[in-house]
């Protein structure tokens, strides 16, 4: 996947980079897993550093994304299909 050379991302753009929905980003912001930056008008935005950082939060995100898209994985179940 080619990443555009921009520094700030709208939630929709950032969700596309992580292969999650905007609702998921909103939930992660609420649960303090991946906290969004805010504009003076209180709109969310994300930075390239948030995408590339190797913090504890980004490791959680990668694990969750990997589990969600794992072939044969059924959400809400610990069993493989």
pLDDT digits (tens, 9 = 90+) for 58-81: 556 665 655 555 556 565 555 554
| Whole-model pTM over 0.85 | no
pLDDT digits (tens, 9 = 90+) for 7-46: 899 999 998 888 889 999 999 999 988 899 999 999 999 9
DSSP for the chain reads -PPPS-SEE-HHHHHHHHT--HHHHHHHHHTTSSPPEE-TT--EEEEHHHHH--SHHHHHHHHHHHHHT-TTB-TT-SSB-
Nearest to 24 by CA among 8, 7, 40, 44: 44
pLDDT of residue 55: 45
pLDDT digits (tens, 9 = 90+) for 46-64: 998 888 774 445 556 665 6
Residues 6+ apart with CB under 8 A from 40: none
């Amino acid at each position: 996947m080619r990443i555009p050379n921009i520094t700030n991302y709208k939630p929709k753009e950032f969700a596309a980079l992580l292969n999650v929905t905007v609702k998921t980003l909103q939930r992660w912001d609420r649960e303090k897993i991946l906290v969004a930056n805010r504009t003076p008008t209180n709109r969310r935005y994300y930075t390239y550093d948030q995408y590339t950082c190797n913090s504890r939060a980004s490791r959680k995100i990668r694990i969750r994304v990997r589990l969600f898209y794992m072939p044969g994985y059924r959400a809400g179940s610990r069993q493989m299909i």
